[in-house]
Chains A and B, each alone.
Chain A
Amino acid sequence: MSLHELSDEQREIRELAARFADEVIVPQAPAWDREHTFPKEVFAQLGELGLMGVCIPQELGGAGADFVSYILVMEQLSRGDAGVGTAIGVHIGAGQLPILAHGTAEQQERLVPPLAQGHELAAFALTESGSGSDAGALRTRADAAQRLTGTKQWITNGSHAHVFNVFARDDDDGRISAFLVRRGAPGFAVTREEEKMGQHSSSTADLVFEATPSERLGTPGAGMRIALSTLDGGRIGIAAQATGIAQAALDLAVGYAKERRAFGRAIGGFQAIQQKLADMQTEIEAARALTLRAARLKQAGRPHTVEGAQAKLFASAVARRQTGEAIQVLGGYGYTKEFPAERYYRDAKVTEIYEGTSEIQRLVIARALLGEAARES
């Protein structure tokens, strides 16, 4: 990416996020990973700077920057620590943006400002133990008084969030709707933190609702549409996150290749290493370009479902593959906890899973190519 492609504000916002990542996040990330720490105080700092509501209008307490700026921030923060990226991606992309898109003016004014300023965190609760990719099979129910009963699984920010977008089936007609629940509502509980392969600084929790009072988000029966359109944009954020993780791995590998010596020379002198690094950088730039393309389409209010799916599909594969290559460049040191290469590798994998698996992204892309022919069984 050339910085010339960006507006002055986008450049400054990117630089701010990059500096914050380098100065505040990078030095602490290894400890958060080791100790499974959710870095609350960092989110407070990000809130003060305006980064918890980058693309939220100023009237609602946000910074009023555009979606592209948010994507640039996602990449930079994720380069510092992927778990921070996940938390922000859900907080903004899957937490605040659906309230902006589907909430009433009153809901927006009441719920969004504390979120945009980073005083509160948001979460998005769609997945259940029996329904992931097949989200339409969810079983959480809403009675006539909008009281929710059911369980949700693997909800990012779950243990810390104040506002939850929850998807449930209306008892009367069986259609799926979206609801808003506040932490502390009767019958609401966080029951478990998941133990994960990576992203130990992010919270991934199971939630229980027992006749929990809620309010509607959007019209009755619009739940799947709200969920899917949220994920359309959310995927672009995950693509940026994956790009950031891959960039961190490349930066590490390049630095190491200049320093590490074998057979009397820096290993960067070997063509095998040079070729690897050149491929890494090329793929990362391609991932970034696809991601920015999708972000610009969304920013312009154009269709971006396929472009977002392509960006996420490609960038997440790049992140998985290239974090592995970074370990290879570092050799045995790459496999140890002395260097962050192994953390990047563990952190990257899930970008191929959440907000739609890579198989589902391909399904989205293929359906757009084939139309009805793709749906015949």
Chain B
Amino acid sequence: MKICVLVKEVPDAAVQKRIDPSTGRMDRNGEKNLNPYDTHAIEAAMQIREGGAVEVDEIVAVTMGPSTAIRALHKAVSLGADRSVHLSDDALAGSDVAATGYALAQTLKRESPDLVLLGQQSDDGECYTIGAVVADHLQMPSLTQVIQMDVEAGPPTQLRCERQAEYGYDTVQVELPAVISVGDAINEPRYPSLKAIMGAKKKPLDALAIGDVDIAADRVGESGSKVICGDFKAPPAKSAGEIIEDEDTNETVEKIVAWLDERKLI
């Protein structure tokens, strides 16, 4: 079985995120890092490999992004991927979610994976949708926000997944191939060993342009994207909360109860 893990380079969690009003895109000049959710997807792939229910021949990290995104791939490899694929082309700059999903799907077709894993959201765009778009193009079932995954050896190989929904949990059985996005509750990503960090640059990395994977230039990039961004506004300021100092706990409890009562919350 071959697992492809979609990974993305995003602004580092420590960087204050900002939209550049002149371009309508996120300012990506600061420190960048591998999207934290994707590290859970890589870990999920590693746990399937180590679980032994199925034979995992290969774990391949796949990204679309500028030249700097190579760092995210190296990191993915240091966390366990065997090799990586980097789709990078000037024509892709400014792609929206639909265009990105199409481009990634075209790239994945070349790999014919049995399972595609990805983080449920990226730390920058936070749109939660890439998995579904990719699945649509690949004509595979898609599950999102999965927080538990058990493999049942086939044939056909199936996954029993628990997904976190707004109303509770769904348990879904899905036949492979499938595209599954995972939440951060699914596992605790391991530490990369120093050896893996030092060896990451030596693992194979395929650098691809749009022509290599049959991507139609008019379906990607700014011109191939239908989303138009503009008229940015800061979210309305939240009104300051009320702080109740805990001087006398009995009094504090009374105050809290009165506050809740006033709002008909209890």
- What is A's interface to B at a CB cutoff of 8 Å? 3, 8-9, 12-13, 16, 19-20, 48-51, 54, 58, 63-65, 261
Q: From residue B252, how far is it (CB to closest CB) to chain A in Å?
A: 16
Chain A residues lying within 8 Å of B192, measured Cβ to Cβ, are 12, 16
Chain B residues lying within 8 Å of A19, measured Cβ to Cβ, are 191
Chain B residues lying within 8 Å of A13, measured Cβ to Cβ, are 194, 197
Chain B residues lying within 8 Å of A20, measured Cβ to Cβ, are 191
Q: How far is the CA of A261 from the CA of B246 in the complex (A)?
A: 13
B194 pairs with A63, CB closer than 8 A: yes
A64 pairs with B193, CB closer than 8 A: no
| Majority secondary structure, B binding face | helix
Chain B residues lying within 8 Å of A9, measured Cβ to Cβ, are 197-198, 200-201
Q: From residue B8, how far is it (CB to closest CB) to chain A in Å?
A: 17
The 5 closest A-B pairs by CB, nearest first: A50-B194, A63-B194, A12-B197, A50-B193, A49-B193
Of the listed stretches B70-78, B127-135, B145-153, name the one at the interface; the rest are far from the partner chain: B70-78
Max chain A Cβ within 10 angstroms of own Cβ: one of B74, B195, B197, B243: B197
Q: Say if the beta carbon of B262 comes within 8 Å of chain A.
A: no
7 contacts between A and B (CB under 8 A): A12-B78, A13-B197, A16-B194, A20-B191, A63-B195, A65-B197, A65-B198
Number of A-B contacts (CB under 8 A): 44
Query: Which single member of B74, B195, B243 contacts A8 (CB below 8 Å)?
Result: B74
Q: From residue B151, how far is it (CB to closest CB) to chain A in Å?
A: 27
Max chain A Cβ within 10 angstroms of own Cβ: one of B74, B195, B198: B198
Flag B8-31 by CB within 8 Å of A: 1 or 0 each: 000000000000000000000001
B193 pairs with A48, CB closer than 8 A: yes
- What is B's interface to A at a CB cutoff of 8 Å? 31, 71, 74-75, 78, 191-195, 197-198, 200-201, 243
Chain A residues lying within 8 Å of B243, measured Cβ to Cβ, are 261
Query: Which single member of A12, A50, A54, A64 contacts B75 (CB below 8 Å)?
Result: A12
Whether A63 contacts B191 in the complex (CB less than 8 A), given A8-B71, A12-B75, A12-B78, comes out as no
A49 pairs with B191, CB closer than 8 A: yes
Additional 10 contacts, C-beta under 8 A, given A48-B193, A49-B191: A8-B74, A8-B201, A9-B198, A16-B197, A49-B193, A54-B194, A58-B195, A63-B193, A63-B194, A261-B243
Q: How far is the CA of A8 from the CA of B198 in the complex (A)?
A: 9
B195 pairs with A50, CB closer than 8 A: yes
Q: From residue A79, how far is it (CB to closest CB) to chain B in Å?
A: 15
Chain B: which residue is nearest A64 at the CB level? B198
B31 pairs with A3, CB closer than 8 A: yes
Q: How far is the CA of A49 from the CA of B200 in the complex (A)?
A: 15
Q: How far is the CA of A48 from the CA of B194 in the complex (A)?
A: 9
| Majority secondary structure, A binding face | helix
Q: From residue A62, how far is it (CB to closest CB) to chain B in Å?
A: 8
Q: How far is the CA of A356 from the CA of B78 in the complex (A)?
A: 38
Chain B residues lying within 8 Å of A58, measured Cβ to Cβ, are 195, 198
Chain A residues lying within 8 Å of B75, measured Cβ to Cβ, are 12
Chain B: which residue is nearest A69 at the CB level? B194
Chain A residues lying within 8 Å of B191, measured Cβ to Cβ, are 16, 19-20, 49
Q: How far is the CA of A25 from the CA of B192 in the complex (A)?
A: 17
Q: How far is the CA of A195 from the CA of B197 in the complex (A)?
A: 39
A51 pairs with B194, CB closer than 8 A: yes
Q: How far is the CA of A176 from the CA of B62 in the complex (A)?
A: 59
Q: How far is the CA of A3 from the CA of B198 in the complex (A)?
A: 18
Chain B residues lying within 8 Å of A64, measured Cβ to Cβ, are 195, 198
Q: How far is the CA of A12 from the CA of B201 in the complex (A)?
A: 12
Chain A residues lying within 8 Å of B74, measured Cβ to Cβ, are 8, 12
Q: How far is the CA of A51 from the CA of B194 in the complex (A)?
A: 7
Chain B residues lying within 8 Å of A261, measured Cβ to Cβ, are 243
Chain A residues lying within 8 Å of B197, measured Cβ to Cβ, are 9, 12-13, 16, 63, 65
Q: How far is the CA of A12 from the CA of B70 in the complex (A)?
A: 13
Q: From residue B79, how far is it (CB to closest CB) to chain A in Å?
A: 10
Chain B residues lying within 8 Å of A49, measured Cβ to Cβ, are 191, 193-194
Chain B residues lying within 8 Å of A63, measured Cβ to Cβ, are 193-195, 197-198
Q: How far is the CA of A20 from the CA of B188 in the complex (A)?
A: 13
A65 pairs with B71, CB closer than 8 A: no
Chain A residues lying within 8 Å of B195, measured Cβ to Cβ, are 50, 58, 63-64
Chain A residues lying within 8 Å of B201, measured Cβ to Cβ, are 8-9
B194 pairs with A65, CB closer than 8 A: yes
Chain B residues lying within 8 Å of A12, measured Cβ to Cβ, are 74-75, 78, 192, 197, 200
Q: How far is the CA of A3 from the CA of B14 in the complex (A)?
A: 12
Q: From residue A10, how far is it (CB to closest CB) to chain B in Å?
A: 10
Q: How far is the CA of A49 from the CA of B193 in the complex (A)?
A: 4
Q: How far is the CA of A48 from the CA of B195 in the complex (A)?
A: 10
Q: How far is the CA of A261 from the CA of B243 in the complex (A)?
A: 11
Q: From residue B169, how far is it (CB to closest CB) to chain A in Å?
A: 27
Q: How far is the CA of A16 from the CA of B78 in the complex (A)?
A: 11
Chain A residues lying within 8 Å of B198, measured Cβ to Cβ, are 9, 58, 63-65
Chain A residues lying within 8 Å of B78, measured Cβ to Cβ, are 12
Q: From residue A92, how far is it (CB to closest CB) to chain B in Å?
A: 13
Q: How far is the CA of A49 from the CA of B243 in the complex (A)?
A: 45
Q: From residue A260, how far is it (CB to closest CB) to chain B in Å?
A: 12
Q: How far is the CA of A19 from the CA of B74 in the complex (A)?
A: 18
Chain B residues lying within 8 Å of A51, measured Cβ to Cβ, are 194
